[in-house]
Chain A
């Protein structure tokens, strides 16, 4: 078995059949398939350690708590967080951004006339929460444009930061549509110079890039577990400890309090201050095997392999004719390619690919303004690769696409 066959063999869902055909799963940017180790531990948590955490004294609860906190330790190590307490569990990237947006608004860190700086290429989850916070506080949103190749316009970023008033910059590490790796450390340094906080949406970045939050120096880094091989409902909010300390809690409830009286409450310390209610404890524990799997996929061998498949797809899509790719190829391109097919609707293509066993994403991809306002399209198609995909699957996809185009054009 080769190195990559071994990786693939660890992921049971990949041997599924779809409509009688072998599954070719190329929608990894939406959610990743999980290794067996994750599925097994999830099972074990449900079977042998199902008890609510941080509360009871009994053995099962202690074991569940241990597994949960092991998950936190694994995440903290994976992103090189300075401490375990600055890793907060949420339900997903969306919940993490909403938490920061609400807490900043409530804590008076965003107010009338303040500016929240976003890029044009943000996912709705890093856009709508800020629009809501702006409505609530009277803050204003400004957008840093991307050029036609999908790269952030650094000159405009500089100009917008220089104009003043920016309290927060929220930026995707990698856009879920364009697949371009933003220079987040450089951008963070620029934003810090004008006193703005920086939130990085790492939903895609955590999958394809080595993330060291101390090196990036961002104030918040958020992502979802299900894209890095664990199960849904396992979001992460990393924040610098001193900043998380200063933020008021967003949700109130059990586990986030020190004391409660009829007159009021006092919030407990980090990280539980932000973890009101029963978290998804069985799922969180699976971060340990999921991130072990992710670790095994780091390094140059995998990078070269992914680059090879990405280059192949660029070449073949170019040869097909009438396929326009958004987010051009380069050293900063993640294995995530969005395109439109002239003369054939994206929904029809996606349907005909599905009929051939090929799963891709189509539509607005939760980035409606980018697709409709910036690029003037009604939707796009996206293929996104994981290291368990292989060149044969890329070939199958191209063949299936050719067939679909022949039927539609």
Chain B
């Protein structure tokens, strides 16, 4: 599945929810399934500090594909991270750099990615792109 196809699948899944509480319930569920970053990798360099919640992000280059793991102290943040990871997991740097991430708008989560330092998610996307850039051919 391409990044675009994965994004479309997520949008379809979210279109079933009419109420915001249902969306969040689903995100909470996704959050508990997130591939958690190994405890020894939870170092200050991997910490993205927000005013509201904290995010740790790990990335490794596995034969040209980027493998991500992450964690957050807030469960809804973890749910959103797991969506981002689903889109970006084991992709090449080129694929990651060309992704538009339109699904975030389409499922109404733009508010959660507002350009504040609130929850570290914007910085997380930037950080994933930075890893991709450094590993791009």
> A-B contact count, CB below 8 Å?
51
Q: Which residue of B lies closest to A344 (CB)?
A: B75
Residue pair B51, A363 in contact (C-beta under 8 Å): yes
Which chain B residues border A352 with CB–CB below 8 Å?
Answer: 21, 24, 76
Within residues 5 to 64 of chain B, which ones have a CB less than 8 A from any CB in chain A?
19-21, 23-25, 28, 51-54
Q: Are A407 and B52 in contact (CB under 8 A)?
A: no
B92 within 8 A of A: no
Q: Contact size class for A?
A: 10 to 19
The answer to whether B52 and A347 touch across the interface, beta carbons within 8 angstroms, is: yes
Contacts of B82 in A (CB 8 A): none
Choose one: B21, B54, B118; the contact of A378 (CB below 8 Å). Answer: B54
Using Cβ atoms and an 8 Å threshold, which residues of chain B touch A347?
Answer: 52-53, 74, 76-77, 118-119
B73 CB-CB contact with A under 8 Å: yes
Contacts of B28 in A (CB 8 A): 348, 407-408
A337-379 CB contact bits vs B (8 Å, 1 = yes)? 0000000011110111001100000111000000000000011
Known: A19-B20, A408-B28. A363 touches B118 (CB 8 A): yes
With a CB–CB cut-off of 8 A, which chain A residues contact B77?
Answer: 347-348
Question: In whole Å, how far is B84's beta carbon from the nearest beta carbon of chain A?
Answer: 17
What B residues does A355 contact at CB under 8 A? Answer: 19-21, 23-24
List, in ascending order, chain A residues with CB within 8 A of B23's CB.
355
Of A351, A364, A403, which contacts B51 at CB under 8 A? A364
In the complex, per-residue mask of A394-409: 1 if CB is within 8 Å of any chain B CB, else 0? 0000000001000110
Q: Is the Cβ of A408 less than 8 Å from the Cβ of B20?
A: no
Least Cβ distance of B76 to chain A in Å?
A: 5
Q: How far is the CB of B114 from chain A (nearest CB, A)?
A: 12
Residues of A within 8 A of B25 (CB): 407
| Residue interface mask B82-109, A partner, CB < 8 A = 1 | 0000000000000000000000000000
B51 touches A345 (CB 8 A): no
Contact status of A345 and B73, CB under 8 A, knowing A362-B52, A364-B51: yes
Contact A363 B21 (CB under 8 A): no
Residues of A within 8 A of B51 (CB): 363-364, 379
Please judge, given known A-B contacts A345-B53, A346-B52, A347-B52, whether A407 and B74 are in contact too, CB under 8 Å. Answer: no
A362 to B76, CA, bound (A): 14
**Nearest A residue to B18, CB-CB:** A20
Min CB distance B111 to A, Å, is 9
Among A345, A346, A356, A408, which residue has its beta carbon within 8 angstroms of that of B21? Answer: A356
- Name, among A347, A379, A407, the residue most crowded by chain B CB atoms within 10 Å (CB to CB): A347
**How many Å lie between the Cα of A347 and that of B77 in the bound state?**
8
A378–B47 CA distance with the chains assembled, in angstroms? 14
Q: How far is the CB of A409 from chain B (nearest CB, A)?
A: 11
Which of chain A's residues has its CB closest to B28's CB? A407
A348, A352, A408: most-surrounded residue (chain B CB, <10 A): A348
- Residues of chain A in range 228-287 having any CB-CB distance to chain B below 8 Å: none
A408 & B52 in contact (Cβ 8 Å cutoff):
no
Determine the distance from Cα of A387 to Cα of B24 in the docked complex, in whole angstroms.
32
Cα A379 to Cα B119 with chains together (Å) = 12
Please tell me if the beta carbons of A348 and B76 are within 8 angstroms of each other in the complex.
yes
How far is B77's CA from A262's CA once the two chains are assembled, in angstroms? 58
CA distance A20 to B52 in the complex (A): 24
Most chain-A CB neighbours within 10 Å: which of B23, B28, B74? B74
Write the chain B residue with the least CB distance to A351. Answer: B76
CB distance from B42 to the nearest CB of A (A): 15
Which A residues are CB-close (under 8 A) to B20?
19-20, 355-356
Residues of B within 8 A of A19 (CB): 20
Query: A147 CB to closest chain B CB, in angstroms?
Result: 27
B118 with A345: CB separation less than 8 A: no
In the complex the two chains form, what is the Cα distance from A181 to B54 in whole Å? 32
How far is B119's CA from A403's CA once the two chains are assembled, in angstroms? Answer: 22
Minimum CB–CB distance for A317 against chain B, Å: 20
A-B CB proximity, top 3 nearest: A355-B20, A347-B52, A345-B74
Would you mind naming 21 contact pairs between A and B with Cβ atoms under 8 Å apart? A19-B20, A20-B19, A20-B20, A347-B74, A347-B77, A348-B28, A348-B76, A348-B77, A351-B24, A351-B76, A355-B19, A355-B20, A356-B21, A363-B52, A364-B51, A378-B54, A379-B51, A403-B21, A407-B21, A407-B24, A407-B28
- Residues in B lying within 8 Å of A, measured CB to CB: 19-21, 23-25, 28, 51-54, 73-77, 112, 118-119
Given contacts A347-B77, A348-B28, A363-B118, 9 further A-B contacts (CB under 8 A): A20-B20, A346-B52, A348-B76, A350-B52, A351-B76, A355-B23, A356-B21, A362-B52, A378-B73
